[in-house]
Structure 1
């Protein structure tokens, strides 16, 4: 939340006043939250008028003011008190081709987002001067899970602000910054990219003093063209950290480890092997694929049991632990916080067991080749635990933004499902990529109904309802655009008694 007058905000963003006098603007303060959904507006807030898929926020300006907003940040006058930033005259490091602006046809969204970035930058600078620590996180996969772990390990040390879900682009990033207050000790910012320069632009809004780079994979490969271009973009984050700061690198990824040469900051390396600044001893998994390991830091060590699921979470936890130690936490504090850090963000490796004994792995929010492989490995592990044979079901949708590699990568995932001995593969969708996944499974050795293509989530749900039985284990995973989150919700709530 901010506490600035409308006049001060207009000056910061370079906007003009509309439907409010300079005198009124000088004495009216924004004391609530800044929202882009008029239904979320609170008294004293500021409403962002942005273009969307089905509507334009400018059309809801009056409703936002009626709900309590004291002004609107807009690209044109809207008939209520507003700060107007004209398209074409935007200030701030915003890429108009970003995913946050896909419905911006006239430049109004770019203008408003650029103004939002300028405002967030001014507020962040003031809060940092007052003692705020900003932590930035990037990586091709695992950003949201790591962000949630960071929030958990830093909570015992002070007040933490972190984005909900995956608020990590040109809208969610400054929106999160403006949630911080003078009472906030740690601001965690998740940073994604669709183009080179995106992360540098986000880091310029609220420069981090601590940065975390998790991995370089093939997410958004269609946008970047090569893994090398992805690595160069991810390296924009450590380059943004000053010499007085700290960069935490996952040394198990060679592309990430090489980023030590791209920063003036002190580097802390984490690994699953000895020799790093922080490393995990032998990792074991329980029946729900929750990792256990010994965390080593210099001459100290502590046993850690994670509450999140999947072997891949070990690297995420190491990065979170490294940040917490840098911020003054003790090893026992870190271990206790990690043990209590259950999955928070929806549709990201959330595991539920229904009353009828069926286990659902809901990882439906996002997918790329690396995270899809991790999800399948977790499914295979869980299905093999216990004395009773358990059928495993992989309900998979499309991995988006893979460009020319989409066919190859979907084929590879279909083959991996067979190699991991997944009992049933349900391929959701009928496009070329999904056909490649199905045929990859068939060519690898699946036959009959082991791999089944269905046209949509409704058809997948009907099949599962007809054939699931205890103690089956089901993984639901796809890129968010595939819409399998609703399918996962339906499976989890089938009898209304699922437990996490």
Structure 2
């Protein structure tokens, strides 16, 4: 969760000083990563690569190709659990990045994640800790989220026996984006950038982050977060939706590859949807658990709607959306949630009709 946004924001920070190459899109596998490296020239000082994980051994193979010097771990959750087999296997697989680092490299670890903290024990490189806890080397507090207007918080950077503090306001969406900013800032610090350069990079509007906000159907506002979905990322998106001042509609699809955590993960999302959305539309058979849990948590039956597929969800949404509504669309790619977002986006619909 958060790999692509971290890659984009990290590249935005590094290129404030250094010629930087970074992976386009999600070229994060044994085909895309080498293709990215083929674009390296003598002018580049840094390359920022995303490494995807499904099963053990994959990241080790990518490390054999890339020889990483700095490794950033975002978090460890149940996404791809169905393929990996267990949380322990996911931990081992993602740890392959840390094990591949040289002694003069640096491991950047999320100190808010209990699984990630364990990687400090196996890292051959010095560890740089980030998170929301003062135990970290770089941490954030006083976080305020202003919906579509961005976020404000304080950075604290420990330097020996004293700490630097910086107040920032960034054009990032949702409280979960603070972790993304911490990761990018950590890389910038390790690369020797000044805080002025780091903050300028974090404000770079050209960084292509995943959430897209656009004018929506019937004078609504569409929050398109359809790249993929897991319980943590969907709950983070619902937290952003909660900050919107207007009627809130959540269109949530099946989350795939959760293995034994499948029902639990969908029910966690359903409970949060009941707290954050005024209307809930679920898409797909697994998302029935989202709807069922939302009703159980007290969401009125009339506010919970279940659609069999994307086409049914589009038709249903168009009967419900009113001017001024905020619509979140989120779910796994296989559920065609991007089709729903396109159908409910004014700009994309006009392009299609042209």
**Pairwise same-fold verdict (TM > 0.5):** yes
SS at match of 1:340: coil
1:165-180 equivalent positions in 2, closer than 5 A: 165-180=25-40
In structure 1, C-alpha distance between the alignment counterparts of 2:176 and 2:193, rounded to whole Å: 23
Aligned twin of 1:205: 65
- Choose the corresponding residue for 1:147, options 7, 10, 14: 7
Distance 1:178 1:493 in 2: 38
- Higher radius of gyration, 1 or 2: 1
Size of the aligned set, in residue pairs, is 346
Query: Which one of 458, 475, 481 corresponds to residue 328 of structure 2?
Result: 475
1:456 match: 309
- CA pair 286-496 structure 1, distance change in 2 beyond 3 A: farther
Within the candidate set 216, 236, 245, 1:374 is matched to 236
Provide closer, same or farther for how the CA distance between residues 157 and 201 of structure 1 changes in structure 2, counting only shifts above 3 A: same
Aligned residue in 1 for 2:189: 325
1:282 counterpart residue number? 142
1:422 paired to 2:282: no
Name 2:103's counterpart in structure 1.
243
Q: Is 1:438–2:291 an aligned residue pair? A: yes
Going from structure 1 to structure 2, the CA distance change for 1:341 and 1:239 (only over 3 Å counts) comes to farther
Tell me the CA shift for residue 496 of structure 1.
Answer: 5.2
Structure with the larger RCO, 1 or 2 (CA within 8 Å, 6+ apart): 2
Preserved contact between residue 303 and residue 335 of structure 1 (Cα < 8 Å): no
Deviation at 1:280, TM superposition (A): 1.1
Asked if the contact 2:146–2:243 (Cα under 8 Å) also holds between the matched residues in 1, the reply is no
Q: Once the 2 structures are TM-superposed, how far is the Cα of residue 363 of structure 1 from its aligned partner?
A: 0.4
> TM-score if structure 1 supplies the norm length?
0.66
Task: Give the structure 2 partner of residue 405 of structure 1.
Answer: 261
Which residue of the partner structure matches residue 4 of structure 1? Answer: none
C-alpha deviation, 1:180, in angstroms: 1.4
C-alpha distance in 1 between matches for 2:271 and 2:164:
42
1:79-478 correspondence to structure 2 within 5 Å: 141-288=1-148, 290-298=150-158, 299-341=163-205, 344-345=208-209, 348-353=210-215, 357-382=219-244, 385=245, 390-418=246-274, 420-429=275-284, 431=285, 433-478=286-331
Give unmatched runs, 5+ long, in structure 1.
1-140
Aligned mates of 2:276, 2:240 — CA distance in 1: 12
- Give, in angstroms, the shift of residue 143 of structure 1: 0.2
CA distance in 2, matches of 1:161, 1:167: 13
Distance in 1 separating the partners of 2:228 and 2:128: 28
Q: Per-residue displacement from partner, 1:330-384 (whole Å, max 9, x unpaired)?
A: 0111112112245515xx22223459652211100110111111111111122xx
Q: Is the 8 A contact 1:160 1:185 kept in 2?
A: yes
TM-score normalised by structure 2 residue count:
0.92
- Residue 144 (structure 1) shift: 0.5
CA displacement, residues 232-265 of structure 1 (integer Å, 9 cap, x when unaligned): 2111111110001111111111211221111111
Shift of 1:297: 1.6
> Hey, what's the Cα distance between the residues in 1 that align with 2:225 and 2:311?
18
